[in-house]
Amino acid sequence: MTESSGTNLFKRILRRIVGKPAVTPSAYWNAKYETEAFIYTKTANRFIVEFCEPLTPGAAIDLAGGEGRNTVWLAEHGWNVENVDISPVGLQKCTQFAAERGVTERVRVLCASGADFKSNLAPADLGIVPYLQVDYALLAQSLKNLVSQLKPGGTLVGVWHARENLGVGFGGPQDPAVLPSVESMTQICAALPLQVEVCELRDGQVQTKDGLKPSITLVLKATVR
Ligand SMILES: C[S@@+](CC[C@H](N)C(=O)[O-])C[C@H]1O[C@@H](n2cnc3c(N)ncnc32)[C@H](O)[C@@H]1O
């Protein structure tokens, strides 16, 4: 046996014992975004538009903003926005998208986790959290951290694929652990200085290869006390 075939055999045995190296969430999202196309389109989420359009522009934090469709929409509507996300590839696309739309001056990005980021725009007037699909503990910690960086009287808006989507709806993660429900979101908000105005399920439709299919979305709008 040569030295290199011995090394390879050792590596193969080690991999079998230890298992494949785990993909970190950041690496997972980087790989997903590593394409010219915008995975989540360049169109702002309709619930973000519904809840944010009536607000007076100020400073906003887009937590888990990814490629920046909502960040850029807010900037186009006069907000100064920080997109906080764990994926440098997504944030790079956001920066390019902001330049393409001529809103570079109102967009900044921060590569950090929801659990412990410190926004450069804090205390902000608005925090949005569109589709941060993580487990209960991480979601609760991320919302706590986000709310702590909003002004009293500021607004929190969240959108998630709902747990109720499993079984009856289409799209989104299929792991119930990362799908909040009205009950789990109510529980998270009850521990925070929030006046909840909307925490409910909305019906929607997603495009699939077999045409439009129903989907169920959880939406949240709350005011910081
Ligand atoms: C489904 S995408 C949604 C992107 C964007 N909000 C949108 O609606 O187009 C989920 C995003 O969450 C980000 N993410 C996942 N875990 C995170 C965490 N712990 N902290 C911050 N961002 C996270 C991912 O990098 C990804 O960009």
Please state the atom number of ligand 1 nearest to the C-alpha of residue 39.
Answer: 9
The pair of three-digit structure tokens given for residue 112, joined into one six-digit string: 């950090």
In a domain, 77, yes or no: yes
Q: How many CA atoms lie within 13 A of 64 on its CB side?
A: 22
Residue 35's CATH number: 3.40.50.150
In a domain, 47, yes or no: yes
For residue 1, the model assigns a pLDDT of 47
Q: Which amino acid is at 131?
A: Y
Res. 17: pLDDT tops 70 = no
Our count of domains for the chain comes to: 1
Sign of the dihedral through C-alpha 22, 25, 28, 30: negative
Stretch 165-188: mean pLDDT, rounded?
A: 94
Please state the atom number of ligand 1 nearest to the C-alpha of residue 33.
Answer: 27
Res. 186: pLDDT tops 80 = yes
Protein residue with least CA distance to atom 14, ligand 1: 64
Stretch 17-43: mean pLDDT, rounded?
A: 88
pTM of the model: 0.91
pLDDT in tens, 75-122: 999 999 999 999 999 999 999 999 999 999 999 999 999 999 999 999
Mutate to test the pocket of ligand 1, among 33, 52, 83, 85 (most ligand atoms within 8 A of CB): 85
For residue 3, the model assigns a pLDDT of 47
Can you give 129-152 as a three-state secondary structure string? EECCCCCHHHHHHHHHHHHCCEEE
Protein residue with least CA distance to atom 9, ligand 1: 40
For residue 20, the model assigns a pLDDT of 56
In a domain, 157, yes or no: yes
Ligand 1 centroid–CA 51 distance in Å is 20
In a domain, 9, yes or no: no
Q: How many CA atoms lie within 13 A of 6 on its CB side?
A: 3
In a domain, 12, yes or no: no
In a domain, 168, yes or no: yes
Q: Is 25 in the pocket of ligand 1 (CB under 6 A)?
A: yes
In a domain, 62, yes or no: yes
Residue of higher predicted confidence among 11 and 88: 88
Stretch 150-171: mean pLDDT, rounded?
A: 94
The side-by-side arrangement of strands in the sheet containing 150-161 is 107-111, 80-85, 59-63, 124-130, 150-161, 211-224, 194-208
Tokens 């569109």 belong to 130
The pair of three-digit structure tokens given for residue 44, joined into one six-digit string: 């702002």
Q: Is 61 in the pocket of ligand 1 (CB under 6 A)?
A: no
Give the burial string for 128-149 (b: 16+ CB within 10 Å, else e): bbbbbebeeeebbbbbebbbeb
What is the domain extent for residue 29?
Answer: 24-224
In a domain, 5, yes or no: no
Q: Is 68 in the pocket of ligand 1 (CB under 6 A)?
A: no
Kindly give the interhelix angle for 25-33 and 88-100, rounded to the nearest 10 degrees. Answer: 40
Q: Which of 146, 171, 161, 132 is nearest to 29 (CA)?
A: 132
